[in-house]
Amino acid sequence: MRTQTGNVILRSKVWYVRFYNRDGKRVTRRLCDRDKTHNTKTCAPVKELVEKVMREVNTDNGVPTAQADITVGEFWEATYLPWATANLRHSTVAGYQKTWGLYLKDQLSHWKLREYKTPNGSGLLSDLTEKRKLGSATLSHVRSLASGIFSHALNLGQIEANPWHDVVNLARVKKSNPTKHYTLEEAENTISALVDRVDAQAVFALAFFLGLRPSEIAGLKWEDIDGDYVHIRRAAVRSKVT
C-alpha cells in the first residue's frame, strides 16, 4: 500500500474524507460539520482532522507512520543522527549537530518530509544569506547537511526525491574575508609569554609550527614522538578519542 492523503468532500454541510482500506475498497468517513471554523477543505482545522484519520488509515494498511507522516525534526532525531553517530567520525557528527542547532532546526523541524520542496530550500539559504549574513563556507555546510538528511530519507524509501538536489541560493553571498594568521614574531612572543608553563608552550608550538589541530594535540602520546617526526595517530574531540 502507498501512503494515502485522502480525498475531502462536502455533503449536506458535512465534511467527509474518502480513502481505500486494506482490501482496496473505497471508504468514506465523516469528519465534522461545516461551520465558521471548518469552512473550507483546505483550512487548517479540516486538514488536521484529515491528517489524523489518514495516519490511522496508513498505519492500518501497513504503511509505517514514520513514512506517512514523519517530520524532518523527527527523522533527524530518530533516524539520521543515530545513523551518523554510528557511521561517521565523532568530529563530523559534532559539526552536524552544531549546524543543525544553529541554522536548520528552527527552519526544518516542523516540515513533513514528503511536503518539503526545492523552493523551500532556496528560500532558507537566501534568508540565511541576507538576514544572518552567512559566508559561503557556512552556507555550504548548511546545504550539505540538509541535502544529506533528505538523501538518507530518499534511500530509506520515505520520500520519492531529494528536494535539495536542485536548491540554488538566490541571494548574493558576501565575499569571505581572507583567513587570518599569526606572524612568526607573534608566535614567538606568545611562546615566550608562557615561559612558566612548559606544557602550554608545547601546545602552542605544535599548533604554530606543525599546524596541528587542537584535537590532534589533545590526542598525542609520548610514543608518537619519533626522532624528527611527530606521528598523528588519533584525535580527541569532546573527550572522545578516535
pLDDT tens, 66-79? 454 789 999 999 89
On whether both 146 and 105 belong to a single domain, the answer is yes
Of the chain, the percentage scoring pLDDT greater than 70 comes to 96
On whether both 49 and 13 belong to a single domain, the answer is yes
If you average pLDDT over residues 28-55, what whole number do you get? 89
If you average pLDDT over residues 172-181, what whole number do you get? 83
pLDDT of amino acid 241: 87
> What are 119-168's pLDDT values in tens digits?
999 999 999 999 999 989 999 999 999 999 999 998 888 888 999 999 99
On whether both 40 and 99 belong to a single domain, the answer is no
pLDDT of amino acid 62: 62
**Domain containing 134 — which CATH number?**
1.10.150
If you average pLDDT over residues 34-48, what whole number do you get? 90
On whether both 141 and 76 belong to a single domain, the answer is yes
pLDDT of amino acid 64: 53
On whether both 149 and 194 belong to a single domain, the answer is no
Confirm whether 172 is domain-assigned: no
Q: What is the pTM of this model?
A: 0.61
pLDDT of amino acid 5: 82
Confirm whether 132 is domain-assigned: yes
- For 31, other C-beta atoms within 10 Å of its C-beta total 22
Q: Give yes or no for residue 237 having a pLDDT over 70.
A: yes
Confirm whether 48 is domain-assigned: yes
Last-in-domain residue among 63, 85, 105: 63
On whether both 57 and 79 belong to a single domain, the answer is no
Confirm whether 81 is domain-assigned: yes
On whether both 76 and 139 belong to a single domain, the answer is yes
Structural domain span for residue 76: 72-155
On whether both 98 and 47 belong to a single domain, the answer is no
If you average pLDDT over residues 200-214, what whole number do you get? 94
pLDDT of amino acid 67: 53
Number of domains the chain contains: 3
pLDDT of amino acid 1: 55
The mean predicted confidence, pLDDT, of the chain is 89
On whether both 83 and 45 belong to a single domain, the answer is no
Confirm whether 179 is domain-assigned: no
On whether both 106 and 131 belong to a single domain, the answer is yes
On whether both 49 and 85 belong to a single domain, the answer is no
Of the chain, the percentage scoring pLDDT greater than 90 comes to 61
